[in-house]
Chains A and B, each alone.
Chain A
Amino acid sequence: MSDSTPVPVKVAPADMPPVAGARQVVAGPHISGAPSGRRIMLLVVGALTPTALWSIVCLGMPAVIVYLACIVSTVGTEFAWNAALRRPQTVTDGSALLTGILLAMCMPPMTPWWICMVAGSVAIALAKMMFGGLGYNLFNPALVGRAVALLSWLGVMGELKPYAGGWLVAVPDLAAVGKYDAISGATRLFVAAADRAAGGAYHFDLAAQYSALLFKNLAGSVGEVSAALVIAGGLFLIVVKVVDWRIPLGYIGTVAALSWAVGSDPIFNVLAGGVVLGAFFMATDYVTSPITKNGRLVFGIGCGLFNAVTRLYGPMPETTTFAILFMNGLAPIIDRMFMPKPFGWVKPAKEAKADA
């Protein structure tokens, strides 16, 4: 047995394959079936494109300026931030582009370009990069940008009518474009709130309002121009499994149910303002919403609750932004409510011991 002592043999290095071909030695799994992060971002951008194009058709040059200012500032800020800090460049992941589009969609069409630029820079620098970039931000960057712009320039936006939440401005050429009897001066929500305060019924024809809100709403933010297109884009994202249906369903369902419960028209409340845009595109942001299925349902219901209650009873006619930002802050806590119970989980035996 003298020869049984193991002697090391020379092992051919990995770069000298005995057969042929260069080979990779990396940990498994060795196949991947995931859409890339960029592909997901582009699918969302794609889902927003019809709305964006239609808003430009309906609103004209002011909308183009809002889009450009928002996108240039979000993408530019991310690029500059990375360059200044000598970090790997991340603008190609598409998320800054998406933030820019979403930000533009929740701005009133007559917002000055410089307010859009400030909002875009704040969205990326303050709400995203300062937290560590994509994946680490607590609040939805686009909504932070909008909230900051709204609260900072109430006066400027006041000229565009109260709260700038989406007020139609008398755009000269719109009268020619519009076939509807557009309510000028205040959004439908504002009128509706006044009607409710007066204790009376809506003083406008609901059916005509539905039609306007669904297809051609000139009295709102850029992205509120057609609820139908927004809903179609949202359903597309659900079908291609980019967003979880629980958030939009919880959100929209709660808004509708609460409105109905207090005697306000549920369909009008869902279609008006930023609810559908918020429910399908803002609240569903992966990073700032819960990761568990149950958590997402709770999150959606919470958004709807906050939005409906403040809209129906608060001083502001539109509160989508703040509803989602508020729930963003709660998302980590909601996730903690739904800790995993592994397959085969059994209740820890502690209680039995206490009994004994």
Chain B
Amino acid sequence: MVGGAFHGGIHPPDRKAATSGVPIERAPLPERLTVPMSQHLGAPCVPLVAKGDRVLRGQLIGDVDAMISAPVHAPAAGEVVAIVTALTPAGTRSVCVVIAPDADQDRDAFVSTVPQHAGVGPAARAAGLVGLGGAAFPASVKLVPSKHTPIDTVILNGCECEPYLTCDHRVMLESPERVVAGARLIAETVGAKRTVIAVEDNKPDAIEALRAAATDGIEVLGVRTRYPQGAEKQLIFAVTGRSVPGGKLPATVGCLVHNVQTAAALADAIETGLPLIERVVTVSGAVARPGNYQVAIGTPVSDLVALAGGLLPEAARVIAGGPMTAQPLGDLGVPVVKGVSGIVALTAAEAAPIVDVDQPCIRCGRCVEACPMLLHPYAIANYADRRMWDGCERFFALDCIECGCCSYVCPTHRPLLQLLRVGKGALMAKGARR
């Protein structure tokens, strides 16, 4: 049963056809793996290895004693050749362990430090699990049962509402049993009564595969195809009809949301002890051979692009993730990290135009209509542009989920999302309530 259709949103061309039918292919190991110590939201890890150390596949190489963090493991057996500070796809710098993988190695053998019987939360932590939908929030933090905010509904997010991306789609199609197993593990851990795997209805084959694999009351629900259907609050509303109050977590309304690929990785971690050292990445757009690749964390984006046949001459912009929320890559030498769901090369024709002179707001109201959070993006942006933070707060800037719908629909291409981020950042720095 569908609870509700969220307000606003957009319907960008999905451009998934190039890769949705391409089976996941395992990418070869690169010459060097650059594994950042900060691939997640929260405290960065501290390297536990030094230059010259030999590491085994799955060995813990970075950890930190902090509540919100996720440890890092060696994606392949090899030698640590350097510990450096390098750029990550997020555009920030992080300490990275550089590993030269052994030329001849068993790519399926691994050592595990994941405790098999300590419960799902500790196992997720030990496996370094983070949200694989893109936010890279440490999964273990959300898997701690709480008496104050009981969870009655677990939702697995298989919407994949961003254009181009098909990695979640392929995982649901090729290993539905892992997704379902992960769903069951999460539901058991938090004691949920209802478990729903929500998939946008533009992926009927994935829905069918999951329904065939789903047993004991796990629901597979087709939800409306509309961006940002995969945004947490919008998805909870679609599945349960509940609205998460501003500034509050989904647990407030008894819900817990995890990405489908995260659930599959969790099933692997619990069943085999495999930590998160590989993930599926969609490489699409203006590349010669678009596809879905299972990639070792730390593989340079340039290697992955080369594997996909290289950039076509018309590629003007390369981004790490879906085109609505991704960071642009200036340097393709950056490594694939846990949160990278796709590498997309956009042509100049389809990329949003670069406006070098500030264009005025013509008050057309398209951003107000598109905002899935029912905000007035034009107003917040105008206040942020003038550094009037009180105005940003009065217009609920902190409720913005940064989906980018406002910028997408703006006829004068005002940098609305960017201005909203500026406003949010200033308010957070000010320590505004909520």
Q: Do A and B come from one complex?
A: yes
Beyond A28-B404, A29-B323, A34-B408, is A344–B305 a contact (Cβ under 8 Å)? no
Secondary structure type dominating chain B contacts: loop
Contact of B47 among A4, A14, A18, A37 (CB under 8 A): A4
A171 beta carbon closer than 8 Å to chain B: no
Interface string of A189-210 (1 = CB under 8 A from B): 0000000000000000000000
B259 beta carbon closer than 8 Å to chain A: no
Chain B count of residues within 8 A CB distance of the other chain = 92
Interface residues of B in 340-359 (CB under 8 A from A): 344-346, 348, 350-354, 357, 359
Beyond A19-B332, A21-B316, A346-B245, is A291–B324 a contact (Cβ under 8 Å)? no
Chain A count of residues within 8 A CB distance of the other chain = 58
A24→B362 contact, CB < 8 A: no
Give the complex CA separation of A291 and B407 in angstroms. Answer: 16
B411→A34 contact, CB < 8 A: yes
A34→B366 contact, CB < 8 A: yes
Beyond A30-B346, A34-B410, is A17–B332 a contact (Cβ under 8 Å)? yes
B245 contacts across to A, CB distance below 8 A: 344-346
Give the complex CA separation of A23 and B84 in angstroms. Answer: 25
B163 beta carbon closer than 8 Å to chain A: yes
B373→A19 contact, CB < 8 A: no
A33→B331 contact, CB < 8 A: no
Contact of A292 among B12, B248, B368 (CB under 8 A): B368
A32→B327 contact, CB < 8 A: no
B359→A23 contact, CB < 8 A: no
Interface string of A1-38 (1 = CB under 8 A from B): 11111111101111001111111111111111111110
A135→B360 contact, CB < 8 A: yes
B324→A31 contact, CB < 8 A: yes
Contact of A343 among B243, B248, B318, B328 (CB under 8 A): B243
Contact of A12 among B333, B357, B376 (CB under 8 A): B333
Of B13, B363, B366, B412, the most chain A CB neighbours within 10 A belong to: B363
B374→A340 contact, CB < 8 A: yes
Interface residues of A in 281-300 (CB under 8 A from B): 286-287, 289, 291-293, 296
Give the complex CA separation of A133 and B358 in angstroms. Answer: 13
B95→A37 contact, CB < 8 A: no
A35 contacts across to B, CB distance below 8 A: 411
Interface string of B315-333 (1 = CB under 8 A from A): 1111100011111111111
A88 beta carbon closer than 8 Å to chain B: yes
A346→B246 contact, CB < 8 A: yes
Give the complex CA separation of A88 and B360 in angstroms. Answer: 13
Contact of B315 among A21, A136, A342, A346 (CB under 8 A): A21
Give the complex CA separation of A293 and B374 in angstroms. Answer: 12
Give the complex CA separation of A136 and B378 in angstroms. Answer: 13
Give the complex CA separation of A213 and B328 in angstroms. Answer: 57
Contact of A345 among B49, B50, B85, B246 (CB under 8 A): B246
B54 beta carbon closer than 8 Å to chain A: no
Q: Which residue of A lies closest to B406 (CB)?
A: A29
B359→A32 contact, CB < 8 A: no
Contact of B83 among A3, A17, A28, A39 (CB under 8 A): A3
B418 contacts across to A, CB distance below 8 A: 27
Give the complex CA separation of A343 and B399 in angstroms. Answer: 8
Interface residues of A in 265-324 (CB under 8 A from B): 286-287, 289, 291-293, 296
B319→A286 contact, CB < 8 A: no
B27 beta carbon closer than 8 Å to chain A: no
| Min CB–CB distance B190 → chain A (angstroms) | 21
A134 beta carbon closer than 8 Å to chain B: yes
A6→B333 contact, CB < 8 A: no
Contact of B328 among A24, A31, A34, A286 (CB under 8 A): A24
Give the complex CA separation of A292 and B376 in angstroms. Answer: 9
Give the complex CA separation of A344 and B333 in angstroms. Answer: 41
Give the complex CA separation of A7 and B95 in angstroms. Answer: 9
A8→B85 contact, CB < 8 A: yes
Beyond A3-B52, A19-B302, A31-B324, is A342–B399 a contact (Cβ under 8 Å)? yes
Give the complex CA separation of A291 and B371 in angstroms. Answer: 13
Give the complex CA separation of A9 and B313 in angstroms. Answer: 29
Give the complex CA separation of A340 and B82 in angstroms. Answer: 52
B412 contacts across to A, CB distance below 8 A: 36-37, 135
B365 beta carbon closer than 8 Å to chain A: yes
| Min CB–CB distance B161 → chain A (angstroms) | 13
A24→B47 contact, CB < 8 A: no
B325→A29 contact, CB < 8 A: yes
Give the complex CA separation of A30 and B364 in angstroms. Answer: 21
B409 beta carbon closer than 8 Å to chain A: yes
B132 beta carbon closer than 8 Å to chain A: no
A133 contacts across to B, CB distance below 8 A: 360
Beyond A6-B83, A17-B332, A21-B311, is A30–B50 a contact (Cβ under 8 Å)? no
A5 contacts across to B, CB distance below 8 A: 83
B251 beta carbon closer than 8 Å to chain A: no
B333→A11 contact, CB < 8 A: yes
A160 beta carbon closer than 8 Å to chain B: no
A40 beta carbon closer than 8 Å to chain B: yes
| Min CB–CB distance B327 → chain A (angstroms) | 7
A25→B330 contact, CB < 8 A: yes
A1 contacts across to B, CB distance below 8 A: 50
B409→A29 contact, CB < 8 A: no
B318→A23 contact, CB < 8 A: yes
A179 contacts across to B, CB distance below 8 A: none
A341 beta carbon closer than 8 Å to chain B: yes
A344→B51 contact, CB < 8 A: no
Of A25, A135, A293, A344, the most chain B CB neighbours within 10 A belong to: A344
| Min CB–CB distance B304 → chain A (angstroms) | 10
| Min CB–CB distance A334 → chain B (angstroms) | 12
B374→A6 contact, CB < 8 A: no
Interface residues of B in 405-426 (CB under 8 A from A): 407-413, 415, 417-418
The 9 closest A-B pairs by CB, nearest first: A135-B360, A14-B330, A29-B404, A3-B51, A32-B352, A342-B399, A25-B330, A30-B323, A344-B243
A sample of 18 inter-chain contacts (CB < 8 A) reads A2-B50, A8-B84, A9-B84, A14-B331, A19-B305, A21-B313, A31-B163, A31-B346, A33-B11, A34-B408, A342-B246, A342-B374, A343-B399, A344-B243, A344-B248, A344-B373, A345-B396, A346-B245
With A33-B409, A37-B412, A342-B399 given, name 4 new contacts (CB 8 A). A6-B95, A7-B83, A18-B302, A293-B365
Which residues of B pack against A, CB within 8 Å? Answer: 6-7, 10-13, 47, 49-52, 82-87, 95, 163, 233-234, 237, 243-246, 248, 302, 305-306, 310-319, 323-333, 344-346, 348, 350-354, 357, 359-366, 368-369, 372-376, 378, 394-396, 399, 404, 407-413, 415, 417-418
